[in-house]
Amino acid sequence: MIEKTIRMNYLYDFYQSLLTNKQNHYMKLYYLDDWSLGEISEHFDVSRQAVYDNIKRTEALLEEYERKLQLFLKYEQRQKHFNTLKVMVQENESPDRIVQIVGLLEELE
């Protein structure tokens, strides 16, 4: 569950600009502000089921965007390369090997 929450936070961060205002609002309250389904449904005066359905659909939509654009996956790969790069620079690795890692990073659009 915590893993899913972390993933949804990332996906929401990457793709929130593609969501509608309502989708954005529910997701922000549920995932970022940690409101319960009950609190959201009470606040908007809609059924708990309606909030649940909306959030489930938005989660599926975010996964669909990730399947198509892979922004989160590429972000993770880049972070990994950045860490390798920093260690290599600090340890005074040969310029050729460092440039090789930069090349790998460049390929990750």
**Which residue ranges make up the site for its own copies (CB under 8 A)?**
13-15, 17-18, 65, 68-69, 71, 75, 78-79, 82, 85-86, 89-90, 92, 95, 98-99, 102, 105-106, 109
Q: Which residue, 7 or 78, is less far from its own copies as judged by CB?
A: 78
How crowded is the C-beta side of 99, counted as CA atoms within 13 Å?
A: 3
Cα torsion angle, 27, 31, 35, 37, sign: positive
Q: What are phi and psi for residue 34, nearest 5 degrees? A: 60, 35
User: Shortest approach of its own copies to residue 6 CB, angstroms?
Assistant: 16
Q: Which amino acid is at 25?
A: H
User: Shortest approach of its own copies to residue 89 CB, angstroms?
Assistant: 5
Q: What are phi and psi for residue 68, nearest 5 degrees? A: -85, -40
User: Shortest approach of its own copies to residue 82 CB, angstroms?
Assistant: 5
